[in-house]
Amino acid sequence: MTAGAYHSMRDHQGPLALSADVVVIGSGAGGAVVAKELAESGQSVIVLEEGARVTQKEYGAFRPSESLRHMWRDGALTIAMGLGGTPAVNVTMGKAVGGSSVLTGGVCFRIPEAVLDEWTTELGLRDYDAKAMEPFFERVEEATHVEEVPASMQSRSSVLFGLGAEKLGLSVEPMRRNTEGCNGCGRCNFGCPHGAKRSVDLSYLPKAVRDGADVYSHCRVDRIVMKGRRAVGVRGRLLNRRGGRPGDRFEVHAKRVVVACGAWHTPTLLIRSGIGSRRHVGRNMTLHPGFRMLA
């Protein structure tokens, strides 16, 4: 088996045409896992990423302002407006090889069983009950080294919060995070400088590339190409002009197309490509914001 490679299109000149068994749009938590599994099965895989490939050594040396400029979409200034008097919330999205997984705090909890029950009973997704999902949760947790935060890393405020919750009759458990050797430096949201957070750029994508997948950065997909009701490829622009502006066009032909652009941009791309009903695609999207509590 021939290994794949990482390809930066930032300095590529001229149009680009590629082909593969599968093209995966997005290199974050969804796209990276799909790419790894498909490449491992022997299929030729191309992964397209709008952002740059920033290595762990590079983002480990970034100042926070540099991380915002080079790795966050819109400098982390995207917001979702609240409805019915609820406040606006900041929506933080990565724009780099590895997607938002590079920039999260690393908190990893399984889909709650109540949510899985809702999926199976109300949506008819019979293959997604808790028992069926168990081995898949375990595989991902092993690949990304999900572990409980040790007591030695709990701050005084965390201890006091736990004591207060227990007095109210609430159970408290340590968070589970995809880390190995975390020293608590607090730089999680700018890319772990120590490589302790096992984001997909360090855990899944290297395995995908080892098994033959090719990862192309600076590639903005604008449209999914359809032949009848079947997706047969994608078209877009290389971000190879000054300042990362769109430049030359590219096209990828594939037997299958996987859209893994995250909850925000997946429905956007589907609508732009004329796939699905505008009344329903993206309509039921919900956000899970994190926030700080002070007392």
**DSSP letters of 185-251?**
-S-GGG--TTS-B--TTTTTHHHHHHTT-EEEESEEEEEEEEETTEEEEEEEEE--SGGG---SEEE
The predicted-structure confidence for 24-60, as pLDDT tens digits, reads as follows 999 999 999 999 999 999 999 999 999 999 998 898 8
The predicted-structure confidence for 132-141, as pLDDT tens digits, reads as follows 999 999 999 9
- Are 57 and 163 in the same domain? no
130 part of a folded domain: no
- Are 214 and 71 in the same domain? yes
pTM of the predicted structure, to 2 decimals: 0.92
Residue 229 CB-half CA count within 13 A? 1
Lowest-pLDDT choice from 8-22, 73-87, 159-173, 216-230: 73-87
In degrees and rounded to multiples of 5, residue 46 shows phi and psi of -115, 125
- Are 90 and 156 in the same domain? no
| Structural domain total, the chain | 2
- Are 99 and 203 in the same domain? yes
Specify the higher pLDDT residue, 142 or 156.
142
- Are 45 and 156 in the same domain? no
Domain containing residue 50:
1-104+194-295
- Are 289 and 231 in the same domain? yes
61 part of a folded domain: yes
